[in-house]
Each structure stands twice: as structure tokens, then as C-alpha cells.
Structure 1
């Protein structure tokens, strides 16, 4: 049983207990004419049955599977369409046979009054179900948020206390954006998950040097990185175009994140100076091109040693991979190319 289902069930049980307690207390203490207990139980049972169905259909309505959503919609439609005939049959035909008559024989049947009472009762049931699912969903999301934040803090503390050996990763985490990754506590669920995923990938890069991963995994982490950059610098500050060859083509772990370390250290990043990332498929090769506007102040402040690129080239040479890395300037634009050959 997943957490949302568990919280929904617990909240529903709590509501049912409160309903029965309220009915009994009101009946004993405030009613002009005390209703027999079995009648209270019968009315409560009818409320509970409709309440449970409404909670179930609302829960299915939150499902990601369209089949459950369709069933939930049909369920609500059937409940509403059968409300009057079904409840009339139960209250007027079945309950009197069980000595649970709710209306006196000397009171004439008023169809309009009966329907109004049913509609008000059903509205109460529906509102109760909505509140139940809403409260359960709120508790579930807060619980998940706290668990994810706890996981994020542990990862951040590990990276802060760890003596990072990977050159480009050490430099990346020392940038303003890297510091944000190590200190921030995002509010949005997606940003929390992306930060956790990226920091976990950093841990892999640090511990699994000279390790190969599929191009799919590496591009997914690149996109995760880009998503967080957009959250920090602005939606229009990073532009990614092109498609990569999906499959099991293996590349060094972290190679597509290497250019971002240079960009964060030496580039201007703004809506007017966005990062351009282009993926070009050619015959038997795939070219990743990263372009960014050079920030001369940053260049003068942080002298580049080229160690990160040298280390990556050593890994490429050692693993005998057909990958080329080259960088050059085009006026005030820094260009970083990664060419994957023989794809």
C-alpha cells in the first residue's frame, strides 16, 4: 500500500468515526425526539457507503493511468444518476421491512422535498470526500517533501565534507551555481528531485573515474543540469537544440558536463547572453557544441589550466575511444566541441 493510499484510508476512517460520534451525540443531547440507535447506525451506514465510493473515485481520479480516471468519471456519473431511484428503494421499501422506517406513515410522500434532502445529503458526502482526499494528499506531499529534503541534505553534506579529486567537478562546485547546489533547499518537488539526481551523479563521477555510461544516461543528466541552470539564471538563459542518437553507445562518465564547468567559470550567463548547446548528427558521428559569451572579468580572475580537458583526454586515450574534444574562440564567443565518432 503506497503512502497516499495509506493516508487516504486513515483520513477516511477518522472521518467515519467523527461522523458516527457526532450523530450519536447530537441525537442524545440536542434532538427534540431521540431517534433509536439502530436508525442512527442505518443512516450513518448509507452516508458511509456513498462516502467510500466518492473517496475511491476521487483517489482514482488522481491516478496517472487513464483507465482509472475513466472508471472514476463513470463511477461519479452512475452514482449521481442512480441516487434518487436507489435511495428511494432503500429508504421506502427495504428499510421499513427491517424495522428501520425513517418516515412516519401519516406523513404524505413529497417527492420534491425528498429529492432536496437527498441532494443536500449527497453534497455533504461529496464535500467530505473532497476534504478527505485533499487532506491525505497534503499530508502525503509534505511527508515526501521532508524525506526528499532529508536525502538532499545528506548528499550535500557528503559532497561538502568530501575531498573532491575530480578536477572539473571540484571547480564546478566552487562556482556560484555549485554553491547553490550544495546549500539550497528547493520548494518545488521537481527541483528537489533534479538536485538530488545531479548531486548523486556528481558522486558517481567522483567515485567511478574512468567509467563508461550510455549516451542516454549522460544526456539525461545534461538535461537535468540545464533545467536547474534555467531555474537559477532564467528560462531563456540556456538553449538546447538537436537530437542525439539514442541507444547503448558508451561515453566517459561526466564528459557532457565538462563544458558546463568552463561556462560557469568564464562565461556571461543572462537572457542577453544565453548558453547555446547544439547537437548535430552527421554521418557516423554526433557533435555536441557548447557556445557561451566570454566574461573577461571572470577570465582575469580565474586563470585556466586546462586540467579538466587534459584529464578527460587521458581517459579517452586510455579507453581507446573515438572521441575528440577541442575548444576555440570566435571573437567574444567561447566554443567547446565534443565529437563522438563511429556512432
Structure 2
């Protein structure tokens, strides 16, 4: 944020110097009468001020949340509506008090021409602001891309030499989904950021006794869902979420998406045979349900294979837990229940 502010400030100092020079040269070459240098400074200052404010509003609109965008639009509309009266008051009422006169009292005022100059100057300020904002955006995105590429290389190098100690991690990295995490370099920044986030998280997920906040675990779950949807297709992962109470206790890392592990290695995953993944929560319990079309590589494989890590994680919780596993002829269902104690939320 500080670098963005510095970039905008230095850019507009350059704009101030540029407009000052341009106006001074125009005065020397084309003006019928000599314009005092102080007036040129004030005009360049107006370009500087309006361009600076508009460029900040543009960047806040581009990078802000919905509320910030609405505020930015409102502020811009206020600037647009008030530019003529503010400049008019400045030139006719304020500056004459200190002896700076932009007009000749002996001649009748040409108000349409006066308003045209204000509007045209405001449009130039908008153009300058847009150039600064686009330049800042370009260098920021370029820097973020470079940082993401560096992080991606670092985490992939760490993961390549990582000991896969659980069925869950093996399921991830020995599938085509894992190949996507380790080899694919997506062009879009969002997916690349998700891969970096998820790889970093996997390096910590088996740490014993490590608990994460509910908000952090939900963020990791959403990241995982986005990556699965990108790899298998949007309609291949049918995720629904119903939480009646947003305050839930800290939980061991990975619990929310451990039921997906058998889906990755032993399931048909496609838009025709999607994974149905549902998270429900109320004041008393959290219920996670995962159902998929079953396609094990070895028919002798027992349906509970691979849940050792999940059971270990659940054993770290001071609350009642239950796992229900059901396998039919072609579907596999896992339902995980976490009972919440009455005083559980008081620990938050």
C-alpha cells in the first residue's frame, strides 16, 4: 500500500512538473498576453490535485471490496459535480483576495468559454489519472506475478521431496489432480495463488496437535474446492454450505476436507458423475457429507482404508465425533459429525 502511494505521489509530481512546463511554453509561444507565472503554477497545481485524487479513487475501485467501490464511485461523482463551482469560487472569490487575478474586469465575462476550459481541464486530469492508475496496476500485477512464480517454485521443490506419510497426501500427489498441483502453471493469477496456498497448507496439515481457527479452515476448504473444480470441471464438484452459526471452535488442520481423500483416488469424478460435498452446521453440531461414484482400483480395498489420519485428527478433539461410512454398489458415502459442547464457543 505504501509503495502504491509513493508511486502515485511521484507520478503526480512528474505530472505537476510536466504541466507546469507545458503551460509555461504555451504561454511563451501562443499566448497573446503575458500570463503571470504564479497563475501557471496554480493551473498546474489544479491538474496535480484533481489527477491525484481521481487516480486514488480508480485504484481503490479496482482493488477494493464492494463497499469501497461504492464509496469510490460516490466520491468521484462528488468531484465531477463540484469541479465547476469549486474552480469558479477559487478564481473569482479566493485568489483575488491575495492579489491573483485570472480575469479582466474591463471585459464582459464569457461564461461558456470559462466552463469549457474547466471541463476540458478536468477531462485532461482524468486522462492523466487513468495513465497513472494503469501504470501502477501494471507494475503491481507484474510484481505479484513474479512473487507468485517464486513461491510456486519454492513450494513445489519442498513438496517433491516431501515424505507422503498418509493415505490422504498419497491420494493427492499420485493422481492427475496432484500432477496439476506439481506441474501445471496456470495463466490466471487466482488459480496460481490457490495452488501456492494449498501446497503450503499441505506441508503443515500433518503437524500433530496443530489446530486452526474455523475461518482459516473454511478458507482452505474453499481453496481446495476451487482447485478440484478447475481440474475436473465446475459441475463435477457439487458443493453446498449451510451454516446457521458462524462462530465455531478451532479444529485440527485438514478435518473439513479429509473425507475427500478416497474420492480422489477411488472415484469416478466428472460432470456426469459428480462428487456431492455438503457442509451443514448449527448450534449443536457440524455435519460434513461426501458422496461419490465408487471406482476403486482394487476390488479388495476396504471402504475404510485411508481414514487413519482422519481418525487420528478427530482423536485430538475434546468433543464427541462420529464417522459413518456407507458403500453401495456404485456409490460411496462418508458422513462426519462433530458434536459441539455447550461451552465450546466460549473458548473462542
TM-score tier by shorter-chain length is: 0.7 to 0.9
Give the paired residue count. Answer: 338
Q: Residue 19 of structure 2 contacts residue 47 of structure 2 at CA under 8 Å; is this kept in 1? A: no
Alignment match, 1:308: 306
Quote the offset at 1:278 in angstroms.
Answer: 2.8
For the residue of structure 1 that corresponds to 2:337, the secondary structure is strand
Whole-Å separation in 2 of the counterparts to 1:118 and 1:255: 62
User: Could you tell me how far 1:281 is from its partner in structure 2?
Assistant: 5.7
Q: Distance in 2 between matches of 1:72 and 1:283?
A: 40
TM value normalised by structure 1? 0.79
In the alignment, the residues of structure 1 paired with residue 232 and residue 279 of structure 2 have an alpha-carbon distance, to the nearest angstrom, of 22
Shift of 1:75: 6.1
2:238 touches 2:275 (CA, 8 Å); kept in 1?
yes
* Inter-CA distance 327–44: structure 2 relative to 1 (3 Å threshold): same
The Cα RMSD (Å) is 3.7
2:328 aligns with: 330
Partner of 2:270: helix, strand, or coil? coil
> Which SS does the other structure have where 1:143 is aligned?
helix
Instruction: Report the CA distance between 1:342 and its aligned residue.
Output: 5.6
Counterpart for residue 346 of structure 2:
none
Q: TM-score, structure 2 length as denominator?
A: 0.79
Q: Secondary structure at the match of 1:273?
A: coil
* Structural mapping, 1:150-229, within 5 Å: 150-206=150-206, 208-213=207-212, 216-229=215-228
Q: Any conservation in 2 of the 1:50–1:125 contact (CA below 8 Å)?
A: yes
Residue segments in structure 2 that go unaligned for 5+ positions in a row: 342-348
Task: Name the SS for the 1:308 alignment partner.
Answer: coil
Q: State the Cα deviation string for residues 123-169 of structure 1 (Å, max 9, x = none).
A: 21222223322332333233233323322332222112323333321
Cα deviation code 1:169-227 (max 9, x no counterpart): 13311211112112333344433333232222201124x13544455543442222112
Unaligned runs of 5+ in 1: none
The residue that corresponds to 1:31 in the other structure is 30
Partner secondary structure for residue 204 of structure 2: helix
Deviation at 1:32, TM superposition (A): 6.2
1:115 deviation in Å? 1.7
d(CA) in 2 for partners of 1:149 and 1:320?
Answer: 40
Give the structure 2 partner of residue 142 of structure 1. 142
Q: Tell me how far apart the structure 1 counterparts of residues 121 and 212 of structure 2 sit (CA, whole Å).
A: 60
In 2, Cα distance between the equivalents of 1:317 and 1:268? 30
How far 1:312 sits from its partner (Å)? 3.7
1:112 CA displacement:
1.7
In the alignment, the residues of structure 1 paired with residue 50 and residue 249 of structure 2 have an alpha-carbon distance, to the nearest angstrom, of: 55
Distance 1:56 1:197, change over 3 A: closer
Separation in 2 of the partners of 1:282 and 1:101? 71
Q: Where do 1:108-119 residues align within 5 Å? A: 108-119=108-119
**Aligned partners of 2:135, 2:300: CA distance in 1, in Å?**
52
**Secondary structure at the counterpart of residue 335 of structure 2:** strand
